[in-house]
Structure 1
Amino acid sequence: MLKQFFILCSGADRKLLETCSDSENTKFAGIGATVFFTAVMAFIASAYALFTVFDSVYPALFFGLVWGLLIFNLDRFIVSTIKKRDSFSAEFLQATPRIMLAIIIAIVISKPLEIKIFEKEINTVLLKEKNAMALNNKKEVANYFKSDLDKNKAQTDSLKSEMIKKEKEVNALYTTYITEAEGTAGTKKLGKGPVFKEKIAKHDLAKAELDVLRKTNLDKIAELEKTAKTLQADLDKKVADTEPIIDGFDGLMARINALNSLPWLPSFFIMLLFLAIETSPIIAKLLSPKGEYDFKLEDLETALIATINQDKYQRELLVKTSASMHDKVYEDIASDNELFNLQRKNAKELLELQSNNFVEKQKNTF
C-alpha cells in the first residue's frame, strides 16, 4: 500500500509500471518517497514561517498545507516530465530548467527551517537590535522635546537668577545700614543718624521689591515647572507608545536579516542539504540507466507518434484524392452541351424578366 502511494507520488504510469520488474517498481517508489518527504519538509518550513507572520496556528497550518501541496505538485511534475534519452547531454539539457526550479524551491524551503534551527542565536541578535532601537528611540524623542524643555529650563533659571541677584542686593543694603549704625563703615559715626535712616530706607524699598519679585517669579516658576512636567509626561508617553512597536520587531523579515548577520557557513550547509533533497529525484533519473519502464514508455510513445503521423498522412492523401475527383467531375459537367444549353436558356429567361421589371419601374416614375 505504501509502495503504491510512493509510486503515485513519482508520477509514473502505474499500469505500465505493473508490467515491469520489481526493481523498476522499487526505483520509482524511492523517487516518489523523495518527492513526498520534500513536500512534507516544505509544509513544516512554510507553516513555521507563516506562524511568525500570523502568530496563529490554524492559518499557518492551512497555508502551510497549501504550500506543501504546491511543492508536491511541482516536484511530481518535474520528475514525471524528465524522459530518458540516448544522450546524457540531451537529458541534462532537458533537466536544466527543472534543476533551476528545484534550486529555487530548495532555497525557499530551507530558509524558514534555518530560522527555527538558529532561533536562540537569532533571538540574541534581535534582543541587541531591540535594545539599540530603544536607546535610539529615546534619544530621538528626547531631541524632539529638547527645544521646549531647554527653553522652559532657561526661563526658570533666569527667574531664579533674577531673585538671587535681588537677594544679594538686599543683603548688601542690609550690611550697609548695619555697619553704618555700628560706626564701622560709611560715616563711621555710631548711632542712627540721617545717613543710617537713608540707607535703611533703601534697604526696606529693595526688600519690598524683592518680596514682590519673589512672589511674581515663584508663580512663574510654578507655572513653568508644571509645563515641564507636562512636557516630560508627553516625552514618557511617546517613548511608552513606541515600545510595543520595538518589542514586536521579531517578524519574518527581521529574523531573516538577523540570520544573515550570523556566520554563513552553517546556513549554507543546511541550504545544501535541502538542495540535495530537492534535486535528488532529478539527479537519480539523470544518473540511472534506461530501465524496462523507460523502454516500454518510449515504445508506446513512438508507436503513438507513428500512428498519428500515419493518420495525418492518410487524411492529407484523402483530401488530395477527393479534390482531384471533384475537379474531374466538374470538368466533365462543364463539357456537357445539354446542360450548357439548359443553363443558357435559364439565364436568358432571367435576363428577360429583369429587363421587363426595369421597364415597368421606369414607366411608373412618369
Structure 2
Amino acid sequence: MLKQFFILCSGADRDILENCSEGEQTKYVGIGATVFFTAVMAFLASAYALFTVFDSIYPALIFGFVWSLLIFNLDRFIVSTIKKRDRFMDEFLQATPRIILAVIIAIVISKPLEIKIFEKEINTVLLKEKNEMELANKKQVGNYFKSDLDKNKAEIAALKADILKKEKEVNDLYSVYITEAEGTTGTKKLGKGPVYKEKREKHDAALKELEVLKKTNEAKIAEKEKAGVQLQADLDKKVSQTQPIIEGFDGLMARINALNKLPWLPSFFIMLLFLAIETSPIIAKLLAPKGEFDFKQEEAETAMKATLEQNKYQRELLVKTSAEMHDKVYADIAEDKGLFDLQRKNAKELLELQSHKFVEKQKATL
C-alpha cells in the first residue's frame, strides 16, 4: 500500500512500472517518497509562517495544507516530465528550468523554518530593536511636546521671578526706613521723624503691592502648573498609545529582517539542506542511467508516435484519392449530352423569366 502511494507520488506510469523489475520500482518509490516528504516540509514551513501572520492556528493549517498540495503537485510534475535522453547535456538543458523552479521552492520553504530554528536569537534581535524604537519614540513624542512644556516652565519661572523681585524691593524699603529710625543712614537722626514716616509709607505701599502680586501670580502659577501636568499626562498617554504598536513589532517581515542580521552561514547551510531535498529527485533522475522503465516508456511513446504518423498519412492519402475519383466522375458527367440539354433548357427558362420581370419593373416606373 505504501509502495503504491509513493509510486503515485513519483508521477511514473504505473502500468509500465508494474512490468519492470523490483529494483526499478524501488528507485521510483524513493523518488516518490522524496516528493512526499518535501510536501510535508512545505506544510510545516508555510503553516508556521502563516501562523506568525494570522496569529491563529486554524487559518495557518488550512493555508499550509493548500500550499503543501501546490508544492507536491509542482514537484510531481517536475519529476514526471523529465525524460531520459541519449546525451546528458540534452537531459540537463531539459531539466534546467525545473531546477531553477526547485531552487525557488527550496528558498521559500526553508525561510520560515529558519525563523523557527533561530527563534531565540531572532527574539533577542527584536528585543534590542524594540528597546531602540521605544527610546526613539519617547524622544520623538518628547520633542513634539517640548516647545509647549518649555514655554509653560518659562512662564512659571517669570511669574516667580516677579514675586522675588518685588519681595527684594520690599525688603530693601524695610531696611531703608529701619536704618532711618536708627539714625544710621539717611538724615542720621535718631527717632521717627517725617522722613521716617515717608519711607515707612513707601514700604507699606510696596508691601501691599507685593501681597496683590503674590495672590495674582500664585493663581497664574497654579494654572500654569496644572497645564504643565496636563501636557505631561498627554505626553505619557501618547507614549502609552504607541507602546502596543512597538510591542507588536514581531511579524513575519520583522523576523525575516532580524534573521538577516544574524550570521549568514548557519542560515545558508539550512537553505542548502532544503535545496538538496527539493532538487534530489531531479538530480537522481539526471544521474541515474537509463533504466528498464525509461526504455519501455520510450518504446510506448515511439509506438504511439509511429501509429499517429501512419494514421495521418492514411488520412491524407484517402483525401487525395477521394478528390481524384470525384474529379474523374464529374469529368464523365460533363460529357453527358442529356444532362447538357437539360441544363441548357433550364438556363433558357431562367433568362426568359428575368427578361419578363425587368420589363414589368420598367412599365411600373412610367
TM > 0.5 between the two? yes
Q: Calculate percent identity across the aligned residue pairs.
A: 80
Q: What's 2:123 paired with?
A: 123
TM-score w.r.t. length of structure 2: 0.98
Aligned runs of 1:65-76 on 2, under 5 Å?
A: 65-76=65-76
- Counterpart CA distance in 2 for 1:225 and 1:57 is 52
User: 1:357: Cα distance to partner?
Assistant: 2.1
Q: What's 1:350 paired with?
A: 350
Q: Secondary structure at 2:84's aligned position in 1?
A: coil
- Counterpart CA distance in 1 for 2:191 and 2:335 is 167
Q: What's 2:339 paired with?
A: 339
For 2:265, give the aligned amino acid: L
- Counterpart CA distance in 2 for 1:14 and 1:357 is 77
User: 1:335: Cα distance to partner?
Assistant: 2.7
Q: What's 1:5 paired with?
A: 5
Q: What's 1:107 paired with?
A: 107
Q: Secondary structure at 1:184's aligned position in 2?
A: coil
Aligned runs of 1:247-326 on 2, under 5 Å?
A: 247-326=247-326
Residues 1:227 and 2:223 aligned together: no
Q: Secondary structure at 1:249's aligned position in 2?
A: coil
Q: Secondary structure at 1:188's aligned position in 2?
A: coil
Aligned runs of 1:1-366 on 2, under 5 Å?
A: 1-366=1-366
How many matched pairs? 366
User: 1:186: Cα distance to partner?
Assistant: 1.6
For 1:57, give the aligned amino acid: I
- Counterpart CA distance in 1 for 2:227 and 2:341 is 120
- Counterpart CA distance in 2 for 1:299 and 1:232 is 86
For 2:18, give the aligned amino acid: E
User: 1:52: Cα distance to partner?
Assistant: 0.4
Moved more, 66-75 or 322-331: 322-331
Deviations 1:64-93 (A, max 9, x none): 001011100000000000000101000000
Deviations 1:41-77 (A, max 9, x none): 0000000000001111111111000101110000000
- Counterpart CA distance in 2 for 1:318 and 1:202 is 138
Q: Secondary structure at 1:177's aligned position in 2?
A: helix
- Counterpart CA distance in 1 for 2:333 and 2:229 is 115
User: 1:358: Cα distance to partner?
Assistant: 2.1
For 2:99, give the aligned amino acid: I
- Counterpart CA distance in 2 for 1:223 and 1:287 is 87
- Counterpart CA distance in 2 for 1:327 and 1:182 is 156
User: 1:189: Cα distance to partner?
Assistant: 1.2
- Counterpart CA distance in 1 for 2:182 and 2:104 is 102
User: 1:183: Cα distance to partner?
Assistant: 1.3
Gaps of 5+ in 2: none
User: 1:324: Cα distance to partner?
Assistant: 1.6
For 1:180, give the aligned amino acid: E
User: 1:360: Cα distance to partner?
Assistant: 2.5
- Counterpart CA distance in 2 for 1:337 and 1:195 is 166
For 1:334, give the aligned amino acid: A
- Counterpart CA distance in 2 for 1:253 and 1:125 is 13
- Counterpart CA distance in 2 for 1:334 and 1:130 is 99
- Counterpart CA distance in 2 for 1:25 and 1:184 is 127
For 1:178, give the aligned amino acid: I
User: 1:292: Cα distance to partner?
Assistant: 0.4
- Counterpart CA distance in 2 for 1:337 and 1:184 is 169
Deviations 1:198-224 (A, max 9, x none): 111111111111111111111111111
Cα RMSD for the two superposed structures: 0.9
- Counterpart CA distance in 2 for 1:252 and 1:365 is 89
- Counterpart CA distance in 2 for 1:62 and 1:271 is 25
For 2:15, give the aligned amino acid: K
- Counterpart CA distance in 2 for 1:265 and 1:364 is 102
- Counterpart CA distance in 2 for 1:203 and 1:322 is 140
User: 1:365: Cα distance to partner?
Assistant: 3.6
Deviations 1:222-248 (A, max 9, x none): 111111111111111100000000000
User: 1:319: Cα distance to partner?
Assistant: 1.2
- Counterpart CA distance in 1 for 2:50 and 2:144 is 37
Q: Secondary structure at 1:63's aligned position in 2?
A: helix
User: 1:342: Cα distance to partner?
Assistant: 1.5
- Counterpart CA distance in 2 for 1:325 and 1:202 is 145
Q: Which runs of 4+ in 1 moved over 3 A?
A: none
For 1:191, give the aligned amino acid: G
